[in-house]
Each structure stands twice: as C-alpha cells, then as structure tokens.
C-alpha cells in the first residue's frame, strides 16, 4: 500500500499545473552515452523503478513487458557481445533488456482476477471481456501480435526513462543490438522477444543537445 501511495504522490506532483517538475523531467531527459562507473544502483531501487514504470498503459491492460536487469560484470560481458553500443554497455550501472511476451494473455486471470478482488471491476465485466476478447487475442496473427507487443513495450520504456530521470538517474534507450543473439545468450523462451535495451546510471558527460521539430510543422487539423 505504501508503494502505491508513493506512486500516486509522484504523479500528482509531476502532473500538477503549479508544479513545473514534470516538464523539467521530460525536457531534462537526454540520451547519455558516458556513465559514471563509480555509481552503483541498489537492486531494490531498480525494482522500485520497474514497478513504477508498470503504470504505463497497455492494450487491454495486459502488460506484455518483461525485463532482465544486467548489473554484473559477467552479465555485461555477455550482453556486450550482442550490443553495438559498447560505451553505454560497459559504463552504465545496469543494462535493462526489455522483453515482449507474445503469450501475454496467459496473465489475464492474474491481472483481471486481482482487479475483481480489489473491486475495480465486477466478475461479470471480467467474464464478458474474457468471452468476447479472449478468443480474438489468442488467435492474433504473429505479425499483429508482435506489433502490439512492441508498441506497448515502447510505452513502458519511455515511462521508465522518465521515472529514472525524476529520481536523478540518466538513461540511453537502445535499439541497435542483435536480438536473435540476445535471445540465445540469455536462453529466452520462444514467447519472449527482445525489444529494447536501456542503459541506466548517472552521467559522466552530458547528453548532446538535440533539435526538435516544431509542432506547427508536423500537425494537421481537420
């Protein structure tokens, strides 16, 4: 309960109109390449950040993200052989392998059952959803399933990066790695697909400033 209250207060603070912290977080997040190798992050704190990132939205709230935290020298060396971003891999406090679970529907009863227990929905709503959407989700073509899983894991990854920044840490979100090799090296089950890597730590050098296109150049109203 205490953890849930902390998450609520965290987002209440960030989203409050009178509090600029939210915008400081999203504008202050940079892709850091060089991390301070003296900085270590306790596993308990990483777990806390992972839990907070789990508040990210997902299709039908089925939360297809899974993750491996690589924070040992042995693990870093293993991952480094499949990661094109050697500096981030070697200097970060931890590398997080974001995985997508193609069998995410197997957690339906766990997620929706707890929602019923907590009074967030009725058992009738749960049963109606299971009867109506369950067969469709379980029979999705592989390409559509992968597409949805990638999308949801992308939302989770951005959520994690902003939470890390709010806690004073820096990140680098990485797509340049050999996914098949990661799956083999970490002996992943077939339903788990590597989606993204996140380097986590504290910067040794500032991330490079970047130019962002203005919305008026991109938007269309109808």
d(CA 187, CA 181): 10
Residue 3: inside a domain:
no
Q: What band does 207 get if pLDDT is binned at 50, 70 and 90?
A: confident
Residue 59: inside a domain:
yes
Cα–Cα distance list, 1 to 82, 87, 113, 166, 219 (Å): 39, 39, 18, 21, 42
Higher pLDDT: 16 or 172? It is 172
Closest CA to 9 of 77, 69, 78, 55: 55
Residue 219: inside a domain:
no
What is the domain count for the chain? 1
The pLDDT of residue 164 is 96
pTM for this entry: 0.88
pLDDT tens readout for residues 42-77: 999 999 999 999 999 999 999 999 999 999 999 999
CATH number at residue 183: 3.40.109.10
Q: What band does 23 get if pLDDT is binned at 50, 70 and 90?
A: confident
Structure tokens at 32: 């850091």
Closest CA to 22 of 37, 31, 12, 32: 12
Biggest CA–CA distance in the chain, Å, is 55
Residue 23: inside a domain:
no
Cα–Cα distance list, 64 to 28, 105, 191, 220 (Å): 28, 8, 11, 32
Phi, psi (rounded to 5 degrees) for 8: -60, -45
Phi, psi (rounded to 5 degrees) for 101: -100, 110
Cα–Cα distance list, 173 to 15, 23, 196 (Å): 24, 19, 7
Residue 196: inside a domain:
yes
3-state SS assignment for residue 174: strand
Neighbours of 219 (CB within 10 A): 7
3-state SS assignment for residue 63: coil
Structure tokens at 75: 């693990």
Kindly state the percentage of the chain with pLDDT values over 70: 91
Residue 200: inside a domain:
yes
CA 219 to chain centre: 27
In the predicted model, what is the mean pLDDT of the chain?
92
Residue 214: inside a domain:
no
Higher pLDDT: 117 or 27? It is 117
Residue 123: inside a domain:
no
Q: What is the mean pLDDT of residues 154-171?
A: 96
Neighbours of 17 (CB within 10 A): 6
The alpha carbon dihedral of 207, 211, 212, 214 has a sign of: positive
The pLDDT of residue 78 is 97
Structure tokens at 19: 């509090």
Domain coverage including residue 185: 31-103+142-207
pLDDT tens readout for residues 79-117: 999 999 999 999 999 999 999 999 999 999 999 999 999
The pLDDT of residue 21 is 83
d(CA 178, CA 170): 23
3-state SS assignment for residue 92: coil
């Amino acid at each position: 309960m205490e953890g849930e209250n902390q998450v609520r207060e965290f987002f209440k603070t960030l989203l409050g109109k009178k509090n600029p912290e939210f915008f400081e977080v999203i504008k202050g997040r940079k892709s850091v390449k060089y991390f301070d190798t003296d900085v270590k992050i306790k596993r308990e704190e990483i777990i806390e950040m992972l839990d907070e990132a789990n508040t990210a939205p997902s299709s039908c709230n089925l939360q297809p993200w899974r993750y491996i935290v690589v924070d040992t020298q042995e693990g870093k060396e293993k991952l480094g052989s499949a990661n094109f971003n050697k500096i981030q891999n070697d200097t970060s406090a931890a590398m997080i392998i974001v995985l997508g679970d193609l069998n995410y529907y197997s957690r339906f009863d766990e997620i929706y059952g707890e929602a019923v227990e907590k009074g967030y929905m009725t058992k009738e709503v749960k049963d109606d959803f299971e009867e109506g959407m369950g067969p469709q989700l379980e029979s999705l073509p592989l390409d559509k399933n992968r597409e949805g899983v990638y999308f949801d894991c992308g939302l989770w990854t951005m959520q994690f990066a902003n939470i890390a920044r709010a806690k004073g840490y820096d990140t680098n979100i990485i797509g340049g790695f050999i996914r098949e090799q990661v799956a083999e090296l970490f002996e992943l089950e077939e339903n788990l697909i590597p989606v993204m890597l996140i380097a986590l730590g504290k910067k040794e050098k500032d991330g490079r400033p970047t130019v962002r296109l203005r919305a008026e150049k991109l938007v269309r109203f109808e």
